Amino acid sequence: MLPLLLDSLPTGNPPSPPPPPPHQMARAKTVSKCITETAEGSHVGVEVHASSDLRLLDHTTGLSTSVTKTLPKVLSCYDSSSFASLANWSQRRSEFEASAYLRDDRLDIECVVTVMKEPRVSQTKSSPKVAVPPSDIAAHLGKLLESKEAAHVTYYVGEDTFAEHKVVHAMRSPVFKAELFGPMREAGAQVLPIKDMQPDVFKALLHFIYTDSLSIIDDLVGDDRGEMIRHLLMAADRYAMERLKLICESDLCENLNVQTVAATLALADQHHCASLRDACIEFMSSSSMDDIVATQGFVDLKTNCPSVLVDAFVNMSMLNKRIEFLKF
């Protein structure tokens, strides 16, 4: 058991105790020295963090009750301060003498000492950080597309030919996979015709298949870019390339105008692009219908897809009613 300095037990509300006499100061040093030696062996000058919990023993139940605690403090063998004290705890003398803590003029006090020790973990050196470059697989596949090295199949698109890699195409498109490796493929066929597609559109499609980007059409602007995006959306739908389809759909949504919105609406309906369709209807509802009706796209929409136009007008009417309601 650790020898501890315990001030005399007060009753009522006693005045502040005087400084401890020299012999108690010596006992306090013994307390601190004992704790530091217990925590760290017999090292001279060692400081430790420790806290205490003074508890009174109930002679009836044999259980102890905490009456005062001290917060963790730094102790050393040279510390002369009081480590554990009952000075801040008081109880009426009559109540205390009648309690189960005092039996036959005997008072048992427990002091629980907790020493906070530093974890014994050896100091480790931080590992050197290695700069990892971004993924360059798209660049490598782009070089493979340009080099045509180890090409397995040749596509005929109009008057142009494209020597490509079956595995890459099958990986990117379930339709290409079925055509190149499925049960319906022509035995030994190494040449495949691509119908109803322009060579420059197929070239842009190949670039996306290998690099997952449309940087090949970055130099296109205005109507030329819009026309290419529409054709790529049709190609993406044809070959079940959902990511490319969504990229094209997003691009068309951001670049709607009076001259193309009707044609884009027909395209959205034909290829099941719900978000693009809604964007077209919202654009038409907030634009001059006279300007839209005057376009060739609207004439084609009215002739070839009258049901789409009727549905668009119904949705525009509902949208305008909601807007008027919100304004009200």
DSSP state letters, 267-323: HHHHTT-HHHHHHHHHHHHTS-HHHHHTSHHHHHHHHH-HHHHHHHHHHHHHHHHHH
Task: Tell me what pLDDT residue 197 has.
Answer: 96
Residues 6+ apart with CB under 8 A from 321: none
pLDDT band at 47 (very low <50, low <70, confident <90, very high): confident
Q: Please state, in angstroms and rounded to a whole number, the distance separating the CA atoms of residues 30 and 291.
A: 99
- State which of 173-177, 189-193, 298-302 shows the largest mean pLDDT: 173-177
Q: Could you give the 3-state DSSP secondary structure of residue 74?
A: strand
- DSSP assignment, residue 173? -
Q: Please state, in angstroms and rounded to a whole number, the distance separating the CA atoms of residues 72 and 32.
A: 13
Work out the average pLDDT over 112-128: 75
pLDDT band at 14 (very low <50, low <70, confident <90, very high): very low
Q: Please state, in angstroms and rounded to a whole number, the distance separating the CA atoms of residues 143 and 5.
A: 82
pLDDT band at 325 (very low <50, low <70, confident <90, very high): very low
Place of tokens 């049901």: 307
Is the CB of residue 249 less than 8 Å from the CB of residue 226? Answer: no
Is pLDDT above 60 for 13? no
pTM of the model: 0.59
Place of tokens 């059409």: 217
Mean confidence (pLDDT) of the chain: 80
Work out the average pLDDT over 304-321: 73
Residues 6+ apart with CB under 8 A from 65: 55, 56, 58
- Can you say how many angstroms the Cα of residue 273 is from the centroid of all Cα atoms in its chain? 29
Task: Tell me what pLDDT residue 311 has.
Answer: 78
Task: Name the residue with higher pLDDT: 202 or 120.
Answer: 202
